[in-house]
Amino acid sequence: MPHDPLELGDLPGVSYVMPVLNEESHVGAAVASLLAQDYSGPSEVVLALGPSTDGTDAAVAALAAAEPRLTTVPNPEGNTPAGLNRAIEASAYPIVVRVDAHSILPADYTRTAIDVIKRTGADNVGGVMDAHGVTPFEQAVAVAYGSRVGLGGTRHHTSGKEGPAETVYLGVFQRQSLIDAGLFDEGFKRGQDWELNRRIRSRGGLVWFTPRLRVGYRPRASVKALARQFFSTGLWRGELARRFPANNGLRYWVPPVAVVLITLGIVAGCLAALSPWWLIGFVIPAGYLLIVFASTALARSHGRSAMAWLVIVLPVIHFTWGAGFILGFLKLTRNLSEFTGR
C-alpha cells in the first residue's frame, strides 16, 4: 500500500546504500558525490563490502577514517542484491537512496528526489542514467547507452516525460515501502531493481520517473568487461521474462530474436555451395551491419576513434545480451552463475 509522504516530515533523514566490489578506481568519487549533496537533513552512507581482490577495502577504510557519516558492513556473497540488503538492514533513516559505485550523483539529487516524493507520494523515484566516457571506447559505450539502436531508448537512458514508470535507474525509496515489499530478491543477481519495482507496483505502490534526476555513470572500460556485463544482464533478463512473462514488454525480445535471425542467416549463407539460393541468408547479417555502420554517426561529436569503437560496441552489447537472454530463458541461469557475478 502507498505510504503518506507527509509522515516523513520536512527534512527526513537519508541513508545512502552502496554495494562495493573491486571498485578501487571509482568508489572515492561515488562517495564524494554523496557527501557533497546540498540536502540539509541528516544523512549516512553505508557501504556493503564484497570480497574485493584489488585495493577497494583500503580505499574505503581511508574514506571511513575521514568521514564519521560513513560506515561499512560485510557482504560475503559479493553480489549486488545481497549487498544492498545488508546495507539497508544496517541503515536507519526513512529515505533510502540506492547508489552504484560507478555513479556520480549531482549535488541536488537528494533534495530533488525528496521534493518529488512529497509531491507525488511515490514509493520510489528515479531518473536518467547519464553515461559519460573518458576514453574513446567508454564514449562509444555511452553513446550506445543513450541511443535507440543501443539499448532501445528507454526513458531512464534517454530522458523523457515525468510520470509513473515500470522501473527507474537506481532509486530513492520510502524505507517502509522497501520493507513492506521484502527488500531486494537475492535470487536475482541482475535485474533486481526491475523485480523489486514490480513488487512495489503489485502492492499498489507508485514508481515515478523524473528527468530532473540525472546520475553520471562511467561505462565499462574494456570489451571484455562490457561483454561480461551485458551477458550477465541478458541472462538474468531472460530468467525474469520466463518467470514473469506478463510483465515483460516486446522490446526485451528484440536482441535475442536478432541473434537468432543473424545466426541463421550466416549459416544459410554458408550453404551456398549446395545452392546459390542459400546466399539470400546473408541479407540479414548484411542488413544488421549496415545499421551498425550507419549508427557510427551518433558518435561523431566524440571523434573518429569513438566512431570506430561503436562498430564493435554495438554488436558486443546486442549479441552478449541477446545470447544471455536466450540461455536465461532456457533455465540455464544457475548453470552459468560464474558469469553473472555482481
Residue 191 lies in a domain: yes
The reply to whether 134 and 279 lie within a common domain is: no
Q: How many helices (H) and strands (E) does the chain have?
A: 13, 9
Tell me if the pTM is above 0.95: no
The reply to whether 193 and 249 lie within a common domain is: no
pLDDT digits (tens, 9 = 90+) for 108-166: 999 999 999 999 999 999 998 888 889 999 999 999 988 888 876 666 666 678 999 98
CA distances from 105 to 40, 168, 189, 324 (A): 16, 15, 23, 30
The reply to whether 31 and 99 lie within a common domain is: yes
The reply to whether 280 and 333 lie within a common domain is: yes
175 has a pLDDT exceeding 70: yes
The reply to whether 200 and 263 lie within a common domain is: no
The reply to whether 39 and 159 lie within a common domain is: yes
Residue 234 lies in a domain: no
The whole-number pLDDT of residue 155 equals 63
The whole-number pLDDT of residue 334 equals 60
Residue 182 lies in a domain: yes
The reply to whether 80 and 189 lie within a common domain is: yes
Q: pLDDT-derived band of residue 332, with 50, 70 and 90 as boundaries?
A: confident
64-71 contacts at long range (C-beta below 8 A, 24 or more positions apart): 67/31, 67/35, 69/35, 69/43, 69/44, 69/45, 70/31, 70/35, 70/44, 70/45, 70/46, 71/44, 71/45, 71/46, 71/47
Residue 228 lies in a domain: no
The reply to whether 251 and 169 lie within a common domain is: no
pLDDT digits (tens, 9 = 90+) for 276-311: 888 999 999 999 999 999 999 999 999 999 999 999
The reply to whether 33 and 141 lie within a common domain is: yes
pLDDT digits (tens, 9 = 90+) for 74-101: 999 989 999 999 999 999 999 999 998 8
Longest dimension (CA), the chain: 75
Cα–Cα distance between 190 and 194 in angstroms, integer? 9
pLDDT digits (tens, 9 = 90+) for 188-201: 888 899 999 999 99
CATH number at residue 42: 3.90.550.10
pLDDT digits (tens, 9 = 90+) for 239-261: 888 888 876 777 788 899 999 99
**Helix 283-295 to helix 254-269 angle, to the nearest 10 degrees?**
130
Q: Which domain holds residue 312?
A: 240-339
316 has a pLDDT exceeding 80: yes
The whole-number pLDDT of residue 342 equals 46
3 has a pLDDT exceeding 60: no
- Which residue, of 160, 190, 219, is where some domain finishes? 219
The reply to whether 150 and 287 lie within a common domain is: no
Mean predicted confidence (pLDDT) in 185-214: 92
Q: pLDDT-derived band of residue 338, with 50, 70 and 90 as boundaries?
A: low
4 has a pLDDT exceeding 70: no
The reply to whether 169 and 79 lie within a common domain is: yes
The whole-number pLDDT of residue 64 equals 93
The whole-number pLDDT of residue 249 equals 72
Query: Mean pLDDT highest for which of 14-23, 138-147, 185-194, 228-237?
Result: 14-23
The reply to whether 214 and 248 lie within a common domain is: no
Q: In total, how many domains does the chain have?
A: 2
Residue 226 lies in a domain: no
pLDDT digits (tens, 9 = 90+) for 215-227: 888 888 899 999 9
Residue 138 lies in a domain: yes
- How much is the mean pLDDT over the chain? 89
Residue 235 lies in a domain: no
Residue 98 lies in a domain: yes
